[in-house]
Amino acid sequence: MKHETQLARLGLFDAKVPRYTSYPTAPHFSGAVDDRTHAGWIAAVPEGARISLYVHVPFCRRLCWFCACRTQGTTTLGPVEAYMDVLEAELALLRDRLAPGVTLSRLHWGGGTPTLLDPDQIDRLAAAITEVAPFAENYEFSVEIDPNEIDLPRAQALKRAGMNRASVGVQDFDPQIQAVIGRDQSYETTRDAIEMIRGQGVLSLNADILYGLPHQTPERIAASVQKLLSLAPDRVALYGYAHVPWMARRQSLLPSDALPTPTERLRLFETARKLFRWDGYAEIGIDHFATKDDGLAIAQRLGRLRRNFQGYTDDPAEVLIGVGASSISRFPGGYSQNAPATSSHTAAIRDGRFSTARGHAFTGEDLMRGRIIEALMCDFEIRTAELVTDFGAAPETVARLFTQANGAFEHGLDVTAEALRIPEPMRPLTRVIARFFDAYDLSSADKPRHSSAI
């Protein structure tokens, strides 16, 4: 109880903090970055470079009420077919601007529901991507899979396309909670989908599960976690549900009075965390777990863990290019984001240009502060030598910044001449601590939401 009181005092339960999958975060992007900037950054990718590619498919057969992603429902494949034409045209624009010899280190199809595509559409999309760049050695190709929206022909098509990692959405197995969040997905349906995927030789499996949902209790989340563990995923993302009905109107269908309190959210997280740890999973950053031989666990041990818009990653590529409506790209020079509306994105591509609507070109201390935040989110420490060597920071400046951060958190951090570290009891505050190093005004970010810091 004393520990929870200290965490509350330091802002865990009421601080408004980003997830820091980028720095600066997306609310600080502006229209100063446009399609010409984006095209120039693509053209600057060196010949023979390894890059990552993200393809966004924004359609779902059903819209889950908890989801705040940019998606749209469809009962037919007509809109999906039209969108496929746009994706092929956008990939052709990308192909024509990339230097020769570029290969794909990582490929991810996200959504929405990428498995809404039928086998022919999967084949078409895979062929269009291959024309942009072939897979690099030791590549990883992952696809977000809805167990309700996958069958053997589609699983075979994905395997044929080169998929070697599946990312399965679970959220919660409790029937009452599923009914409340608008996602009917039984354990048996999930198990059968996973067995089908593994039957195709795709042995690497990710799974997502949520805490902080209406009616969740420690007993209920424990039951869901134990069912998930019986499916033996290699990697699990334990995300906190963000209740933001002013951004995602469908969330207003959820009973807000049944949401757990901030303290209850923390206990839900700790319940799930202990179960993953007891089952031998390594704890990765603030909300991921992985088996000891998974790429994330290896990257963590080697100090190579990174963070991007898909969360934690072991991807070594410096360039991530997003394709599709609302996709975000990262280049050495900054971020660029496609138009979020499918109609605006389509219009730009049909006009023969990228749909870049906004972004951010790195200036000043962006790269250094971004690295501090990423290191804290990944490794719970940032070393002085890295900031001095890689960013030219003066040791005394770094020391002063670390001392100020320590003071802001009641001297609960571990600060030495070599590094700033977040000790384990303070790690629930990692995002709050990371915010201390954020030089941008967060008052322009989203309105306060229920338990935004955990």
pLDDT digits (tens, 9 = 90+) for 23-82: 999 999 999 999 999 999 999 999 999 999 999 999 888 878 777 677 777 777 888 999
* Beta-ladder partners of 412: none
Q: Is the pLDDT of residue 4 over 90?
A: no
What is the crossing angle of helices 262-278 and 2-9, to 10°? 120
Measure the CA–CA gap between 114 and 18, rounded to whole angstroms: 26
CB 170 within 8 A of CB 184: no
Q: Is the pLDDT of residue 286 over 80?
A: yes
96-155 confidence digits (pLDDT tens): 999 999 999 999 999 889 999 999 999 999 999 999 999 999 999 999 999 999 999 999
375-398 confidence digits (pLDDT tens): 999 999 999 999 999 999 999 999
Q: What are phi and psi of 165, to 5 degrees?
A: -145, 130
Mean pLDDT of all residues belonging to the chain: 93
Residues 38, 51, 111, CA angle at the centre, nearest 5°? 75
Measure the CA–CA gap between 147 and 141, rounded to whole angstroms: 18
Average pLDDT over residues 168-181: 94
Residue 13: its pLDDT value, please? 77
Q: Is the pLDDT of residue 447 over 70?
A: no
Q: Is the pLDDT of residue 226 over 70?
A: yes
Is the dihedral angle over the CA atoms 143, 148, 149, 150 positive or is it negative?
Answer: positive
The CA dihedral of 288, 290, 296, 298, to the nearest 10 degrees, is 140
Q: What are phi and psi of 237, to 5 degrees?
A: -105, 120
Q: What are phi and psi of 403, to 5 degrees?
A: -65, -40
Q: Is the pLDDT of residue 454 over 50?
A: no
Q: Is the pLDDT of residue 443 over 80?
A: no
SS3 label, residue 368: helix
Q: For the whole model, what pTM was predicted?
A: 0.93
Q: Is the pLDDT of residue 248 over 90?
A: no
Under the phi-then-psi rule, with left for phi > 0, alpha for psi from -120 to 50, and beta for the rest, what region is 238?
beta
Residue 68: its pLDDT value, please? 67
Is the dihedral angle over the CA atoms 373, 377, 378, 384 positive or is it negative?
Answer: positive
Task: For residue 445, name the pLDDT band (cuts at 50, 70, 90).
Answer: very low
